[in-house]
Amino acid sequence: MTSDADRLTPPRQLLDTRLVAILRAPSAARFPQVAEALAAAGVTCVEFTLNSAGCLDALRAARRRLPDTVALGVGTALTPEQVRQAHDAGAQFVVSPNVDVDVIDSAVRLGLPCFPGAFTATEVVAAWRAGATAVKIFPASAVGPSYLSYLRGPLPDVPMLPTGGIGIDDVAAYLRAGAIGVGLGGPLLGDALAGHGDLPGGDLAALAARAERAMAAARVERS
C-alpha cells in the first residue's frame, strides 16, 4: 500500500484547469494539431490513447511542438510494457480503463502519475491502495454525478476523475460532486480528429469554441 507521503501528485495543468481532453481515433496522425488547438483554447492536459494507431509517434511530435506548460499523457495503458513505452516517448501521466496493480506499480516506479479506471467502491479502494494518483471513475455517464457523490461519502480522501461520455454541460455538476477534474472525449472533440495528418479534417475553430465552453464551466465551479 502506497503511503500518502510517497504518492505522486496530479499534473498541475489538471489541477489548474480541472479538465483532461481525451484524444481517441483510428489514427493518431492529427493528435498534435488537435492538441495545439486545445492548448490555445486553455485545455492544457491532454491524453493520447494507445489504441489509436501511431499514438506514441504522435506524442513525440506533439511534445516537440508544444511548450512545457501543456501536460501530455497516454491513455488505455494495459500493460507495464506500455507504461514503459509511454514514459520513453515523453508521457507525463498514464491512464488505464481498469485496475491492474502491475500497471500502477510500473507507473509509480517511473514517476508517472497514474489514473486507473474503476467503477465500484471495491475497485476504487484497490486502485488507491495500489498507488493511484487519482482514480478514474469509468464509465461515469452510465451513473451520473450523484454516483460520484455517493462514492465520496465513505471515500472522501480519494481524488476521483470521472470519465466516459461526459458532456460539456455536465462538467459543473461533476465538479460540484467532488471530482478533482473531468475527462472529456467525444463531446469535446466532435469531428476535430477527422481526416489524416495534414489532409483536411474536422473543424478546429468549433473545437476551440467547445474547449472554451468547458473551461468556462470549470472556472465557475472554482470561483
Task: State how far the Cα of 28 lies from the Cα of 15, in Å rounded to an integer.
Answer: 26
Residue 6 is predicted with a pLDDT of 83
Residue 4 is predicted with a pLDDT of 73
- In a domain? residue 102: yes
pLDDT band at 3 (very low <50, low <70, confident <90, very high): low
Lowest mean pLDDT among 14-23, 32-41, 212-221: 212-221
CA-based nearest residue to 201, from 210, 209, 191:
191
pLDDT in tens, 122-177: 999 999 999 999 999 999 999 999 999 999 999 999 999 999 999 999 999 999 99
Lowest mean pLDDT among 6-20, 159-173, 208-222: 208-222
Residue 220 is predicted with a pLDDT of 73
Domain that holds residue 92: 12-222
Question: Which one-letter DSSP state was computed for residue 58?
Answer: H
Residue 32 is predicted with a pLDDT of 96
Q: Is the pLDDT of residue 199 over 60?
A: no
Task: State how far the Cα of 151 lies from the Cα of 103, in Å rounded to an integer.
Answer: 24
Task: State how far the Cα of 11 lies from the Cα of 16, in Å rounded to an integer.
Answer: 9
How far is the CA of 70 from the CAs of 7, 95, 145, in angstroms? Answer: 22, 17, 27
Q: In CATH, what number is assigned to the domain containing residue 58?
A: 3.20.20.70
- In a domain? residue 6: no
Q: How many domains does the chain have?
A: 1
- In a domain? residue 210: yes
Radius of gyration of the chain (CA): 16
- In a domain? residue 3: no
- In a domain? residue 1: no
- In a domain? residue 22: yes
- In a domain? residue 5: no
Percent of the chain with pLDDT over 70: 94
| Cβ–Cβ < 8 Å for 168, 214 | yes
**Residue 56's CB: how many other CB atoms inside 10 A?**
19
Residue 94 is predicted with a pLDDT of 98
Catalytic sites, residue numbers: 47, 136
Residue type, 162: P
Q: H-type helices in the chain, by residue range?
A: 12-17, 31-40, 55-65, 80-88, 101-109, 121-130, 145-152, 171-176, 186-189, 204-222
- The model's pTM is 0.94
| Cβ–Cβ < 8 Å for 136, 118 | yes
- In a domain? residue 4: no
Task: State how far the Cα of 162 lies from the Cα of 136, in Å rounded to an integer.
Answer: 5
pLDDT in tens, 43-64: 999 999 999 999 999 999 999 9
